[in-house]
Chain A
Amino acid sequence: MAAREPSAAHVVLLEKLIGALTAKGILTEAEIAAKKSATEKASPETGARMVARAWTNPEFRARLLADGTAAAEEFGISLAGNPPLGVLEDTPALHHLVVCTLCSCYPRVVLGFPPHWYKSTAYRARAVRDPRGVLAEWGTMIPAGTQIRVVDSTADYRWMVLPVRPEGTEGWSEDQLAALLGAEELVGVALPKVARAQAA
């Protein structure tokens, strides 16, 4: 989807707002530039690297589950001015699915911009009510013995899923494991598949 050109009126409004914020000493131009750069650099690769490390390093896994914000900072991601990050641990008995029914809260610092489907009213309304149906449409079949926990990101935290490490990945490097993971796996609409990395 191509970005639309901003309207001239919006550009003027933005310039006035930045002018007022900097004149009042609330923000500096440098702070705005740093924030823009961090926002544009954020991508699911960060979340993927964190999960791959958790799969291979039990101590990091414990830190990630205890305090996602501090664990992200170990990867050089500053969460200053951002909501804290929580990490949801999948097990063979429990699968997490993240949604924001009220708007589109998303762990942007570790996953980047939310995909368009995550913001759609269809996903937001249906994920809480019929999670198994929604997942089936993604081709994600959750066995009847595995409970689904839909995490509605309603308030001040942002949530990322730590999926179960797939079988057949014994001895893989962090880079190989990270290649199994994208935004879909990290919010729980898809499960990491070994074939995906082998085909790459």
Chain B
Amino acid sequence: MNPQFAAGARVQVKNNRPETLMRLHLRTPHYVRGRQGTVLRALGRFPNPEDLAFNRPAPEKMLYHVLFEQQPVWNEGEAGDTLLVELFEHWLEPVEG
């Protein structure tokens, strides 16, 4: 399957807390949940670690490098400084133009 998001796409990280419902090996840091960023590139497909770590069936999910600006995330920092985070496709939603 091809990546849903192309390089340059604006995305929003879902502001979900699935860890309150079940045991998951989550790789989505809290500091980017609900935040908007830009897809730098797709990194390839990997078995979903949320399930893999608990020995459940773990279908492959597309992983992306998503770039966030520092200041909106932390309300501090130098303009132009960024955070680059690996995030899985099922955590990302498109942001309308």
Contacts and interface: CB of A to CB of B under 8 A. Distances in A.
Interface of A: 84, 86, 101-102, 128-132, 144, 147-157
B77 interface: yes
A152 B29 contact: yes
Given A130-B77, A132-B81, A144-B78, A154 B28 contact: yes
A54 B90 CA distance: 36
Interface stretch (B4-12, B16-24, B43-51): B43-51
Nearest to A103: B27
B29 to A, nearest CB: 5
Nearest to B85: A152
Given A132-B77, A150-B83, 17 more contacts: A86-B43, A101-B31, A102-B26, A102-B27, A130-B76, A132-B81, A144-B78, A147-B80, A147-B81, A147-B82, A149-B84, A150-B70, A153-B86, A154-B28, A154-B87, A155-B27, A157-B43
Contacts of B63: 155-157
25 contacts: A86-B43, A102-B26, A131-B70, A132-B77, A132-B81, A147-B78, A147-B81, A148-B70, A148-B82, A149-B83, A149-B84, A151-B84, A152-B85, A152-B86, A153-B86, A154-B28, A154-B85, A154-B86, A154-B87, A155-B27, A155-B49, A155-B63, A156-B63, A157-B63, A157-B86
Contacts of A157: 43, 63, 86
A151 B46 CA distance: 19
A157 B64 CA distance: 10
A57 B70 CA distance: 34
Contacts of A128: 29, 31, 83
